[in-house]
Amino acid sequence: MDSCNCIEPQWPPDDLLMKYQYISDFFIALAYFSIPLELIYFVKKSAVFPYRWVLVQFGAFIVLCGATHLINLWTFTMHTRTVAMVMTTAKVFTAVVSCATALMLVHIIPDLLSVKTRELFLKNKAAELDREMGLIRTQEETGRHVRMLTHEIRSTLDRHTILKTTLVELGRTLALEECALWMPTRTGLELQLSYTLRQQNPVGYTVPIHLPVINQVFSSSHAVKISPNCPVARIRPAGKYMPGEVVAVRVPLLHLSNFQINDWPELSTKRYALMVLMLPSDSARQWHVHELELVEVVADQVAVALSHAAILEESMRARDLLMEQNVALDLARREAETAIRARNDFLAVMNHEMRTPMHAIIALSSLLQETELTPEQRLMVETILKSSNLLSTLINDVLDLSRLEDGSLQLDLGTFNLFAVFREVLNLIKPIASVKKLHVSLNLAPDLPEYAIGDEKHLMQTILNVVGNAVKFSKEGSISITAIVAKSELLRDSRTPEFFPVPSDNHFYLRVQVKDSGVGISPQDIPKLFTKFAQTQSMATRNSGGSGLGLAICKRFVNLMEGHIWIESDGLGKGCTAIFMVKLGIPERLNEPKLPFMPKVPTNHGPTAFPGLKVLVMDENGVSRMVTKGLLVHLGCDVTMVSSSEECLHVVSHEHKVVFMDVCVPGMDGYEVAIRINEKFTKRHERPIIVALTGNTDKVTKENCMRVGMDGVILKPVSLDKMRSVLTDLLEHRVLLEAI
């Protein structure tokens, strides 16, 4: 027995305790072996398990523990030393592994715990996301509703439709019981119920605009919950116990001060309407945030749509107004045109009607002049002639005035005797002045040139008018007429600062001053003097019998002559002075005794003016050819007659000094002939003077004649005097612009 080397257990194996230990050890070993098996099985099943190494370690630990307990079973009975050795080894290994495992678990267990926290965190996150999703969904739905509402609202430009649609759509979307719109009245102090959803024709309820609840709503751009009992919300029939929640929002109206809407008065800058929305009563529904947002957005859209509608209304109104104005303007223009045409027709008719009797008077008076008269009779006839010439001139001038206004009148320049003009005026005025017992005196400056170049007719008319006025408005006293050459110092008159005449070698300024001692003019009437047809009170009472045109015409002529006219007076009863300055030309030959353009000496059949002057007359019309020939023969010319352009070109030679050709015959080109003649005679002194005879006074004819190189134009019918003066002028100057 000694040599078995066995170890005896401490306690007998039959002891009950030992028996229990034996059984427990067995089960422990079983359990310890089965745990790793389970672990392996389940880990294999799960896909994710990050701690394999741990598992292995743990498995080894368990297995060794099981082994230990298993081997322990053998130690209950007598066992050999080998068993004890194995047991010890197993225990040692187990100890090592378990310590390692314990150490490792220190690291692992916190990690495992944190997994749990992460799981909790993720769950929270998921819940949150869910909530947000819910929100987004509701928002998107709100947006969809708004888009649909906007589309409905903006699909019309009619204000009423917009508002009605808004209410209807809102009611539908939000399932409202009632929806109402209160608009501010014209005075702006009250809100008037304008539109409702359910009630068809809202009666004009009004509430004052300055209620605190309304102010509250207007001051915020959000939808505001208001009490169902406030006046704006109390539009439903009573009888509901639990009124639903009410929300009100402001709807900005357009900025009135930017538009001319005449009925709405100027008020505070921002005006609002009030939209009130009521949930169904007895429904316990609440206003949700997204619904409130929907309402706010809709309110804004409505405001925009309303402004568009208002702008459209405004522009339609403006367009209608413009159309009306256009029609009215068109009518006015046509009326004006008709008036102008009527005036022109009238002038044209009067032109002719007035000239005809004048012609008769002048013609017969000249005829009378030719007869045997006593000297007094002759004087009378001459006065009649002069007066009728003046009257004829006046008639021309009334018509000229209208042409003056158009700017188409030109001055009739010519050399004339300045002294003679003044003498004429004096002679004409003397009879009337002596009847009124007025003394008229004329002072001509010594350095005043005797001859001047200008429009004699109009100058005389101007002087006559001014002097005539002086005589007309003086009951007594004297009239003094002074004419001087204006010197440079005098030229710049302080009273006429805008007039800066510049004298030169070819021109001088004639200054005429007419002073009278008559009724004078008050200072405030002076500017009106030169206005057409305007007569001052004092002048009118004088029964002047004038049309008021005189001074206006004078002013225009003076202006045409590059001059200035003005009137000074010291006041009523102190007489007045009329002064005018005109620009006249200085003729080259001041010593010329002959006066080529002087008046009207009676025709004498005596000495011929142009003996032997060779003249060529081209005229298709036999009668008028013969008349022209008769005229020229009477003046002593040697006349050759041709009746066609070919003949004319054939016959014309350098011997002919003057060629008269009729250019108003259609079909015969007088201009062509003129050009050919010009070509034929290259040297100027060989070329005959070419004069056109025509019945047309228009500018076109004159221009054409000038263009083809003709030297002059005479208007038919030609009188003897005219022919004589034309020939004289032509032969002297080789140029004649025009003789009417």
Partner 1 sequence: MDLIQLQRQLVDYRTSLYHEGFLDEQFTQLQSLQDENNPDFVVEVVSLFFEDSERLLNELSKALEQQIIDFKRMDAQVHQLKGSSSSIGAHRVQKLCIVFRNYCEAHNVEGCLKCLQQVKHEYGIIKTKLESMFQLEQQILNAGGSIPV
- Per residue in 466-499, is it b (16+ CB within 10 Å) or e — as a string? bbbbbbbbbeeeebbbbbbbbeeeebebeeeeee
Residue 532 annotated as part of some ligand binding site: yes
469 is in an annotated binding site: yes
Q: Which two tokens stand for residue 155?
A: 């699909």
Q: What is the CA radius of gyration of the chain?
A: 64
Report in angstroms how near the CB of residue 701 gets to partner 1 at its nearest: 15
Out of 112, 126, 316, 363, the only residue in the binding site for partner 1 (CB under 8 A) is 363
Shortest Cβ 666–partner 1 spacing (Å): 6
Q: What is the C-alpha separation between 237 and 259, in angstroms, rounded? A: 39
Which residues, in sequence order, are CB contacts of 572 under 8 Å at separation 6+? 519, 520, 521, 522, 538
Q: Does residue 621 belong to the site contacting partner 1 (CB under 8 A)?
A: yes
Rounded Cα gap, residues 491 and 500, in angstroms: 7
Binding to partner 1 by residue 204, rule CB under 8 A? no
As a whole number of angstroms, the distance between CA 651 and CA 662 comes to: 16
Stretch of 57-65, 367-375, 497-505, 507-515 lying at the interface with partner 1 (CB under 8 A): 367-375
Interactions with partner 1, residue window 287-306 (CB under 8 A): none
Residue 367 binding partner 1, by CB under 8 A: yes
The least CB distance from residue 719 to partner 1, in Å, is: 5
Nearer of residues 238 and 623 to partner 1, judged by Cβ: 623
Of 307 and 603, nearer to partner 1 (C-beta) is: 603
List CB contacts of 259: < 8 A, sequence separation 6 or more. Answer: 310, 311, 314
**Which residue in 590, 623, 700, 740 binds partner 1 (CB under 8 A)?**
623
Tell me if 458 sits within 8 A of 396, measured CB to CB: no
We find the least distance from the C-beta atom of residue 647 to partner 1, in angstroms, to be 17
The only residue of 1, 666, 683, 700 in contact with partner 1, by rule CB under 8 A: 666
Is 622 an interacting residue with respect to partner 1 (CB under 8 A)? yes
Q: 463, exposed or middle or buried, with CB in 10 Å at 0-12, 13-18, 19+?
A: buried
Q: Are 197 and 176 in contact (CB under 8 A)?
A: yes
Distance between CA atoms of 71 and 65, rounded to whole angstroms? 10
627 is a site residue for partner 1 (CB under 8 A): yes
Measured from the CB atom, the residue of 514 and 631 that comes closer to partner 1 is 631
Of the candidate residues 125, 439, 487, 716, the single one contacting partner 1 (CB under 8 A): 716
Residue 482 within binding range of partner 1, rule CB under 8 A:
no
CA distance 473 to 466: 11
371 binds partner 1 (CB under 8 A): yes
Q: Kindly tell me which residue out of 634, 651, 669, 676 binds partner 1, with binding defined by CB under 8 A.
A: 634
607 lies in the binding site for partner 1 (CB under 8 A): no
Residue 568: in which H helix or E strand, if any?
A: strand 564-569
Amino acid at 456: E
Q: What string marks each residue from 557 to 596 as x (binds partner 1 by CB under 8 A) or -?
A: ----------------------------------------
User: Is residue 470 a known part of a binding site?
Assistant: yes
Contact 303, 251 (CB under 8 A): yes
User: Which listed residue (418, 631, 673, 674) binds partner 1 by CB under 8 A?
Assistant: 631
Binding status of residue 360 toward partner 1 by CB under 8 A: yes
SS3 label, residue 594:
coil
Residue pair 211/288 in contact by the 8 Å Cβ criterion: no
Give CA–CA dist 226/208, Å, rounded. 17
Residue 366 binds partner 1, judged by CB under 8 A: yes
The 3 state secondary structure assigned to 374-395 is: CHHHHHHHHHHHHHHHHHHHHH
- Please provide residue 146's backbone torsions phi and psi, each rounded to the nearest 5 degrees: -60, -45
Q: What is the contact mask toward partner 1 in residues 249 to 278, using x (rule: CB under 8 A)?
A: ------------------------------
Q: Which is nearer to partner 1, 211 or 364 (CB)?
A: 364
**Alpha carbon distance 143, 131 (integer Å):** 18
Tokens of 665: 């015959």
Whether omega before 237 lies within 30 degrees of 0, making that bond cis, reads no
The interface region with partner 1, picked from 187-195, 244-252, 317-325, 657-665 by CB under 8 A, is 657-665
Contact 92, 71 (CB under 8 A): no
Residue 391 contacts partner 1 per CB under 8 A: no
The SS3 assignment for 303 reads helix
Mark residues 680-709: x for contact with partner 1 by CB under 8 A, - for none. ---------------x--------------
Out of 527, 571, 596, 630, the only residue in the binding site for partner 1 (CB under 8 A) is: 630
Q: How far is the CB of 624 from partner 1 (least distance, A)?
A: 4
Q: Provide the 3-class DSSP secondary structure of residue 583.
A: strand
Query: Is 472 annotated to bind ligand?
Result: yes
* Binding-site annotation: residue ranges for Cu cation: 65, 69
* Binding-site annotation: residue ranges for ADP: 469-472, 516, 532, 547, 551
Residues found near partner 1 in the complex (CB under 8 A): 359-360, 362-364, 366-367, 370-371, 603, 605, 620-624, 626-628, 630-631, 633-634, 662, 664-667, 695, 716-720
* Binding-site annotation: residue ranges: 65, 69, 469-472, 516, 532, 547, 551
